[in-house]
Amino acid sequence: MIRIGIFGAAGYTGGELIRLLLNHPEAEIAFAHSESNAGNLVSDVHEGLVGETSLCFTDLISFEAVDVVFFCFGHGKSAAFLQEHSIPEGVKIIDLAQDFRIAGAHDFIYGLPETHREQIATAQHLANPGCFATCIQLAVLPALKAGIIAGDIHINGITGSTGAGQKPGATTHFSWRNDNISVYKTFNHQHLLEINQTVHELQPEYDGRLFFIPQRGCFSRGIFVTAYAQCTTPLEDIQQIYTDYYCDAAFTHVVRKSPDLKQVTGTNKAVVYVERHEDQLLMICCIDNLLKGAVGQAVQNMNLMFGLDENTGLRLKATAF
């Protein structure tokens, strides 16, 4: 059994991670860390887990009791935590924040399985991709890798309210979010940094720009991305490029019918679709932001890091109705 410690376990990602790991046949949760909820039942905070676990939150840390730790902190807190704590070399780290996604003076591997599977399998420290970054990359990378896109890529993405985290805010309050839509961080969303990093790793010759308009949606979970760019390659060839690119992907599926969000909500799947309009290639991808966009992908990466089948513990049904 893989012994697991979870930090930041009281938030949305922490709760989803606990839910997945409780049903993972090769996983055992050693501790769920939360200073503010220490001593409380996990199911008192994550009420969807009532009857599934008697685990309590703790403010104690025992690295000796675990094989891997998940950081479900807010952005910036993972790096600070590592400065304050010495984690044994034998303990693997999977960070869900953005602290180590950009290559630099650290040994964290970027954890997008569709592009970095071999590196992930031997990683000791892993930076889980961002939710928008995952969805956008899965939509555009096959076309970029094949060199069939010319010029800039224009991207629109809409995300559910859980993408903003559990802490209440002006734009996450139900009365504001319900029956509403808005844009934010236009053209400068932080996930563009990791997307551009992967783009130039796979296709160094690409000299276009990515223009991204993120939107807040009136739903709880999921991300739906549409992107378009100039392309003159025949549609049948494009579809074959995408099918070949994802032929070994455990959770990314290329479809021939325009998808909808309910196909992926509640799962670790990504559904990808392409079509051509004159000289423009339309690329669509949808995922669940909390699963393929966060903890589902993190568990997928854990499976790879410990030599398990990627699907282990992740065969989940979409909430299509």
Write out the catalytic residue numbers: 131
User: Nearest CA to 266 among 228, 307, 317?
Assistant: 317
User: What 3-state DSSP class applies to 235?
Assistant: helix
The pair phi, psi for residue 134, each rounded to 5°, is: -60, -50
User: Nearest CA to 12 among 47, 39, 36?
Assistant: 47
Contact 162, 220 (CB under 8 A): yes
Return all residues near 1 (Cβ < 8 A) that are at least 6 apart.
26, 27, 28
Q: 182-189 long-range contacts, Cβ below 8 Å, gap at least 24?
A: 182/215, 182/216, 183/213, 183/214, 183/215, 183/216, 184/214, 184/215, 184/216, 185/214, 186/212, 186/213, 186/214, 187/211, 187/212, 187/213, 189/132, 189/214
Side chain identity, residue 282: L
